[in-house]
Structure 1
Amino acid sequence: MSFTAIIPARLASTRLPNKPLADIGGKPMVVRTAEQVGQSAAQSIYVATDSQQVIDAIQPYGIPHLLTRADHPTGTDRLAEAVDLLGLKDDEIVVNVQGDEPLIAPELINAIASHLQQHPNAAIATIATPFNHDADFFNPNHVKVVCNLTGHALYFSRAPIPWARDAMQQHPNLMAPNLGALHHIGIYAYRASFLRQFPHLVRGPLEKHESLEQLRALENGFSICVYQIPQAPAQGVDTPADLDKVREIFQNRL
Structure 2
Amino acid sequence: MRTLIVIPARLKSKRFPEKSLAQIQGIPMIQRVFNNLQNSHIAPVWVAYDDDRIGNLFSESQRVKTGECFTGTDRVAQAIDIKNAWNQFDIVINVQGDTPVIDTQILFELLVPFSFSHVSMVTIVSELEDQKLLSSPSKVKAVCSKCPDFPEYWKCHDFSRVVETLDSSFSYFSHWGVYAFRTSALKSFTTYAPSFREQSLALEQLRFLDQGHSIWAIKAPKNMTYMCVDTQEDLKAVQIFLENR
TM-score band, normalised by shorter chain = 0.7 to 0.9
Q: Is the 8 A contact 1:7 1:96 kept in 2?
A: yes
Name the counterpart of 1:155. Answer: 158
- How far did residue 164 of structure 1 move? 4.0
- How far did residue 63 of structure 1 move? 6.6
Q: Distance in 2 between matches of 1:186 and 1:81?
A: 19
Name the counterpart of 2:3. Answer: 3
What SS does structure 2 have at the residue aligned with 1:136? helix
Name the counterpart of 2:15. Answer: 15
Q: Is the 8 A contact 1:122 1:222 kept in 2?
A: no
Name the counterpart of 1:113. Answer: 111
Quick one: percent identity of the two aligned structures? Answer: 32
1:191 and 2:182 are equivalent in the alignment: yes
Deviation string, structure 1 residues 156-212 (Cα, Å, up to 9, x no partner): 2234277248xxxxxxxxxxxx97422222211111112212221133333234332
Distance verdict in 2 for CA 1:239–1:139, change over 3 Å: closer
Alignment of 1:128-167 (within 5 A): 128-150=125-147, 151-160=154-163, 163-164=166-167
Query: Structure 2 residue aligned with 1:217, among 201, 208, 233?
Result: 208
More strand by share: 2
2:26 is matched by which residue type in structure 1?
G
Distance verdict in 2 for CA 1:58–1:250, change over 3 Å: farther
Distance verdict in 2 for CA 1:143–1:22, change over 3 Å: closer
Q: Distance in 2 between matches of 1:201 and 1:179?
A: 27
What SS does structure 2 have at the residue aligned with 1:155? strand
Name the counterpart of 2:239. Answer: 247
Give 1 or 2 for the bigger CA radius of gyration: 1
- How far did residue 44 of structure 1 move? 0.9
Distance verdict in 2 for CA 1:208–1:102, change over 3 Å: closer
What SS does structure 1 have at the residue aligned with 2:69? coil
Q: Is the 8 A contact 1:37 1:109 kept in 2?
A: no
Distance verdict in 2 for CA 1:90–1:225, change over 3 Å: farther
1:80 and 2:68 are equivalent in the alignment: no
1:238 and 2:230 are equivalent in the alignment: yes
Q: Distance in 2 between matches of 1:8 and 1:84?
A: 14
Q: Distance in 1 between matches of 2:23 and 2:8?
A: 18
Name the counterpart of 1:55. Answer: 55
Name the counterpart of 1:99. Answer: 97
Q: Distance in 1 between matches of 2:244 and 2:199?
A: 42
Deviation string, structure 1 residues 6-46 (Cα, Å, up to 9, x no partner): 11111112333221222222322111111110122433111
Distance verdict in 2 for CA 1:205–1:249, change over 3 Å: closer
Distance verdict in 2 for CA 1:83–1:53, change over 3 Å: same
Show structure 1 runs of 5+ residues with no match.
Answer: 166-177
Query: What is the TM-score with the length of structure 1 in the denominator?
Result: 0.82
RMSD: 2.6
Distance verdict in 2 for CA 1:68–1:21, change over 3 Å: same
Alignment of 1:32-71 (within 5 A): 32-59=32-59, 64-69=62-67, 71=68
